[in-house]
Amino acid sequence: MPPSYRKAFIVGCPRSGTSWLFKMIGKHPLGLPVPSESHAYSTVYDPFTYLPQWSFQRRQQAAAWVIRHYGLKPLLTGITPQDIWRSLPGFYDLYKQGKNTIGLHRLANREDFTRLLHQAKSREGSDLSKAEDLIAALFQHFFEANQGTAEHIMLEKTPMHIRYVDKILSRFPEAKVIEVVRDGRDVDVSYKARAKTQRWAHDDSRRVIGQWQRCVNLGARFHGDPQFAERIYRVRYEQLRANPTQELCQAFDFLGLEYTSNLMSQIVAANDISQVASKGEGLHVRKGSVGEWRSSLSQEQIDLWRELAGETLEKLGYGW
């Protein structure tokens, strides 16, 4: 299978409804969804962009983490690209052994991952280009292992891949990106609920505001870039909740996926948030409410949102 098979990446600030949209798109007969978030770019590509530049003082600040994943010598003398390549199998195993289902093991088993890693590492070019080669090889392996054909489209949802939209669209000319945007104050409410059971979830409004604004600003930057603008599509969570059939039809149109009214009805009915059995406080799916921030956030938290992100919220059409 040539590497130009169709791909779609669902991105956006976490807790914005990316999972819901991903599940619905993944129900299309031609969709080949990666079962869970791969975090391919943050795991494989990102370390090469900053770890070799860490000063000794910065490495000392993260000494336990550096020693655990890279060793004592890198702590003392610096983390090299070779150290990063050697660490990748360990991060593969770390994700696979964890309670979460996310990680590179969603794309390939350990044996195939090791083989693809060695192939990418042995190629000519910079370490960043080799990292991109490995990511492309992992996606292609997943596609072929799941009997993908020229008609299929691979679907991948890692919300924070929004940081790498330019890298994704440059590397894969055939790829498209769907960005999900939600009122940041409702994102904050969702984060606070998720933090009750998950350590990764932020319960501090200031941190949520910072992440939400970064994600929204990145999306705006990519939408405004002429070389990417036609290949990135924005879905508003609130509109998706209000009219899921219409919004899903538009997403399918953007991806070039044909559909019937019967198919749309089946997909929307099967993914109705109000009918999800395992939802609630602290769970992956909570309520999916719109405007809950008005009753769930404190006045102090609302004022903080107004101070730090009021202009961004209003530009997106979110009122007070």
Q: Quote the pLDDT of residue 314.
A: 97
Angle formed at CA 43 by CA 38 and CA 48, multiple of 5 degrees = 150
- Smallest CA-to-CA distance from 107 within 168, 49, 154 is with 154
Span 49-69, average pLDDT: 98
> What is the three-class DSSP state of 5?
coil
Can you tell me which residue has the tokens 């054909």?
Answer: 149
Span 211-227, average pLDDT: 97
Domains, the chain, ranges and CATH?
A: 1-30+151-320 (3.40.50.300), 34-146 (no CATH)
User: For the sheet containing 153-157, what is the strand order?
Assistant: 31-33, 153-157, 6-11, 175-181, 232-236
Can you tell me which residue has the tokens 């890693």?
Answer: 117
Span 42-71, average pLDDT: 98
- Report the alpha-carbon distance of residue 101 to residue 116 in Å, rounded: 21
pLDDT digit string, tens, across residues 190-215: 998 876 666 555 678 999 999 999 99
**Do 243 and 235 touch, CB atoms closer than 8 A?**
no
**Do 132 and 167 touch, CB atoms closer than 8 A?**
yes
Q: Quote the pLDDT of residue 193.
A: 85
- Report the alpha-carbon distance of residue 104 to residue 44 in Å, rounded: 9
Span 178-193, average pLDDT: 95
- Please give the DSSP secondary-structure letter assigned to residue 104: G
3-state secondary structure 130-176: HHHHHHHHHHHHHHHHCCCCCCCEEEEECHHHHHHHHHHHHHCCCEE
Q: Quote the pLDDT of residue 8.
A: 99
The model's pTM: 0.92
pLDDT digit string, tens, across residues 67-82: 999 999 999 999 999 9
Helices 184-194 and 299-315 cross at an angle (nearest 10°) of 130
